[in-house]
A and B are shown apart, each in its own frame.
Chain A
């Protein structure tokens, strides 16, 4: 379980995340949605101790993220931010192998190798394993990053826009793979998503943010409602039920 207690982030006089107290249940997919500048990524970074909070506390399974030793936390919680630029020339398998660093500290065991191989196969990167990252397309690279984070094998996985750079086929495959990891391995995923329909189809729990605050949270059925979405995005969004899924139509 992830709890944020009165978490606030300020830059000078502007408040980016404003007094957020939420509880994210263990095991399942939580999607954080909201317009640009709502503070989604900032909140995610603070939960993962990448960014110091101005106020408040974050507990992951009762561990305070600002007080727990970072290497211990790295075995419980992993994060991938959006827009990762890596100048270093690493092969895909090198990169994925670094996901084991919290356990192996650079001396991988046979078990670590299994994890690496599995993560590579999970993201269908077998043919690209020996390629350098700078030779891959944006989508392939994104999959390599996600493979690295999965290889870290933490109970909590935080992904900031995991569908970045992915085409429809790979976006669907990615969401299906994350869903599978949650169902089979009892992982807890927290995803920042831009596409509300992916959130509706795959998430168990949706948190809607606006102007640094959490404005709604609940199951997809509760959040995928015209009046709720209007409040979040300031756009009229029709919601239809297709094959039992709530789908928002916002194209025109």
Chain B
């Protein structure tokens, strides 16, 4: 087969289009890398787990116990949280038609946290599923408010959108902090909101499987989000109800955020960086790019968690901090790259 010309002389962006099979190879490689990270994640920690200890002649029951009760849940939680937060970011970017939007730059995460605080204040005995549902409703209301504000802003510049979201998030966060302070819950609030996987144990994390299911739903309805990403006029022209797609997407994003916040806390930037990187490689046709988004999300979070567990061994740095440091650097890089790209 004659190689196709991928680039022409007037190609200004310098980005190369990959044909389908090359995309498949890249996806397979990424999957292998994530599997390797997951495997490492199973065997890194204060308690010593080794293959010999698990299956060898001198098998110890403690090793298996540690693996089943802590390491596997932790790794699974990392993969699911990474996949789903990245997918949620991707959906939000399509719906808001802005590359710099994600649950933590649109008031979604802060609203979910406010929801959890409300549950703690008014119905402290509510089971975790109920907590999550309330947090979802809050997250949905907050994000809907964000999108509503966006329609009122005459100048929808690329950077205005996340700035508005950050401000809205700040206002909601101030509310939360005020009430948490009044009811002496500041410490618990910090404990929930800081993303941390060290407390993930069997019997206390299973809710996060729900986010995996939500990613599957997003995958099967991916075309709608891509169409919505073309804008309201295109969506209506193709016979889809734009408001309907918007509400459906918001529901998924809100539930994912609520599940992740209730089980492991907030993970900033992930939903922003991962879809941007996946977009450079696989474009934005969500049916094609969502597998990349999910894989990269899982890999990114696994890697950040491993860094947090090893850098200050035997102590742990919360993953929220690691993600925050790496994420903000990557965010700046994306911003600056964007600037040159637009110029």
What is A's interface to B at a CB cutoff of 8 Å? 45, 48-50, 69-75, 78-81, 84-91, 94-95, 98-99, 101-102, 105-106, 127, 130-132, 134-135, 137, 149, 152
Contact = CB atoms under 8 A, between A and B. Distances in A.
A90 B13 contact: no
Nearest to B221: A106
Given A48-B237, A84-B231, A90 B287 contact: no
Closest 10 pairs (CB-CB, A-B):
A74-B239, A71-B239, A106-B223, A88-B284, A88-B229, A89-B284, A94-B285, A101-B238, A89-B283, A102-B239
Contacts of A73: 239
B229 A132 contact: no
Interface residues of B, number: 37
Interface string B232-250: 1110111111000000000
A47 to B, nearest CB: 12
A71 B231 contact: no
A80 to B, nearest CB: 8
B99 A87 contact: yes
21 contacts: A48-B237, A50-B233, A70-B240, A71-B240, A74-B237, A74-B239, A80-B237, A87-B97, A87-B98, A88-B285, A89-B283, A91-B283, A98-B230, A98-B238, A101-B240, A102-B238, A105-B223, A130-B17, A130-B19, A135-B13, A135-B17
B183 interface: no
B223 A101 contact: yes
B10 A137 contact: yes
Contacts of A72: 239
Contacts of B98: 87
B339 to A, nearest CB: 15
Nearest to B284: A88
A50 B237 contact: yes
B283 A90 contact: yes
A192 B98 CA distance: 30
Nearest to A131: B17
B226 A88 contact: yes
B57 interface: no
B241 A70 contact: yes
B151 interface: no
A97 to B, nearest CB: 9
A134 B237 CA distance: 22
Contact of B17 (A84, A91, A106): A91
Given A71-B239, A130-B19, A135-B11, A90 B231 contact: no
Given A88-B94, A132-B283, A135-B15, A49 B236 contact: yes
A91 B285 contact: yes
A84 B97 CA distance: 13
Contacts of B234: 84, 98
B6 interface: yes
Nearest to B11: A135
A149 B233 CA distance: 12
Contacts of B233: 45, 50, 79, 81, 84
B273 interface: no
Contacts of B284: 88-90
Contacts of A99: 238
A100 B229 CA distance: 16
B258 interface: no
Contacts of B237: 48, 50, 74, 78-80, 149, 152
A98 B237 CA distance: 11
Contacts of B232: 50
Contacts of A94: 283, 285, 288
B176 interface: no
A131 B94 CA distance: 20
B12 interface: yes
A125 B83 CA distance: 36
B313 to A, nearest CB: 40
A142 to B, nearest CB: 14
A70 to B, nearest CB: 5
